[in-house]
Amino acid sequence: MTEAIEIFECGPRDGLQNEKRQIPTAEKIALVDCLSRAGFRRIECASFVSPKWVPQMADSADVLAGITRGEGISYAALTPNMRGYEGAIAAKADEISIFGSASEGFSKANINATIEESLERFKPIMEAARHVDLPVRGYVSCVTDCPYDGKVDPGEVARVAEALFAMGCYEISLGDTIGQATPDSIAKMLLAVRDVVPVHRLAGHYHDTSGRAIDNIDASISLGVKVFDAAVGGLGGCPYAPGAAGNVATERVMEHCERIGIDTGLDANIVQEAAVMARKMRES
């Protein structure tokens, strides 16, 4: 039997949020519609954050209203607070994501809250989502290295991941936000997190800033992780992590998996078509 993984496509959200050119809504819709034909089960394409802080995502409701929704595909939105949650509900997002950090410095820079304060903020979102049976995914940033605090303790990653899972997040995405992780640091982190969250509920979100994302994915697969976030065309980064541009490219992950006999369930031709569209967005 061929081994399989799932690629969670985050290019239309995490990939585009940091682009300097204000990308027209129609271009975003066209990208999501192309991705919808490629075989993805989940596509993150919206973020209901303050347009003051992330102006690129100000049209998220219009994007969700304009896309052609594919059967069996979940279209996800990031929601940092109750206002964002309400926006996602109104726009008919199929699932939402909340995002915390394993490092105090990054938490304060990214969402202006300590780790404990951020976890408290998530509780009303989780309670509201539970009442309408809306799936919630949890993100943990800076799982090995932080631009402010340096090396991150795997035990702290496990603590935050366990808290999000206990709240009701169906999956925890573990982010190498500044792309400085190594297979060794990823393995140490995953071994700690696996003790408190089932490995089949974990995902890897690895930036390719230092060119090690594929190696880190391989290390994660060897420890049982089967879901990986990626951005078509290698778009993205984080505005609160200087120099961290470069989500691992979906097409690179797909091609690598094919070479080593792991199935992604994706149509390579359509993924490449979407990658060309994504790169043009950056180059325009």
Active site residues: 238
Query: Cα(163)–Cα(128) distance, rounded to whole angstroms?
Result: 17
Contacts of 89 (CB under 8 A, 6+ apart): 132, 134
Region for 179 from its dihedrals, namely left if φ exceeds 0, alpha if ψ lies in -120 to 50, beta otherwise: left
> Tokens in use for 226?
């089967």
Contacts of 231 (CB under 8 A, 6+ apart): 9, 10, 11, 14, 15, 247, 248, 249, 250, 278
Query: Cα(181)–Cα(175) distance, rounded to whole angstroms?
Result: 10
